[in-house]
Amino acid sequence: MRPIVAATGTLICSGIVLVPLSLVADRPWTLAPDLTGLVSAVFLGVVCTALAFLIYFRLLTTLGPMGTASQAYLRSGVGVFLGMVFLSETLDVRTFAGIGLAILGGC
């Protein structure tokens, strides 16, 4: 199956489930978001969800399930690194232990 088909199907199915639930829970007709909020929501939907799904399903096609799953063990380390660089977060022993356990879990 082509990655675009799998990604499209996933997003359509999740929309069918989540849109009615969000209408009941959030009552969006009572909200008044500003332009920044609307642009942020569109950006998150297109870049962080749709594009991420396309990349994920492309990886499944090219690397296979095992290769795609193995990259998940690097996420925690990359997230900590990005937090240090962009958010000035500090590292402690627990952080190193968590990254080490995530990497050992992939072995």
Considering the domain architecture, whether residues 51 and 75 belong to the same structural domain is answered as no
CA–CA dist 60, 68 (Å, integer): 6
pLDDT of 70 > 70? The answer is: yes
- The last residue of a domain, from among 53, 68, 83: 68
Considering the domain architecture, whether residues 76 and 28 belong to the same structural domain is answered as no
Considering the domain architecture, whether residues 81 and 61 belong to the same structural domain is answered as no
CA-only gyration radius of the chain, Å: 18
Helix then strand then coil, % of the chain, to nearest 5: 85, 0, 15
pLDDT at 24: 93
Q: With 0.85 as the threshold, say if the pTM is over it.
A: no
pLDDT of 80-89, one tens digit each? 888 889 998 8
Considering the domain architecture, whether residues 88 and 101 belong to the same structural domain is answered as yes
Residue 71 DSSP code: T
The tally of domains found in the chain comes to 2
Confidence class for position 107, pLDDT limits 50, 70, 90: low
pLDDT at 39: 94
pLDDT of 12-27, one tens digit each? 999 999 999 999 998 8
Considering the domain architecture, whether residues 59 and 11 belong to the same structural domain is answered as yes
Considering the domain architecture, whether residues 14 and 27 belong to the same structural domain is answered as yes
Which residues constitute the domain of residue 90? 71-107
Considering the domain architecture, whether residues 64 and 75 belong to the same structural domain is answered as no
Considering the domain architecture, whether residues 53 and 7 belong to the same structural domain is answered as yes
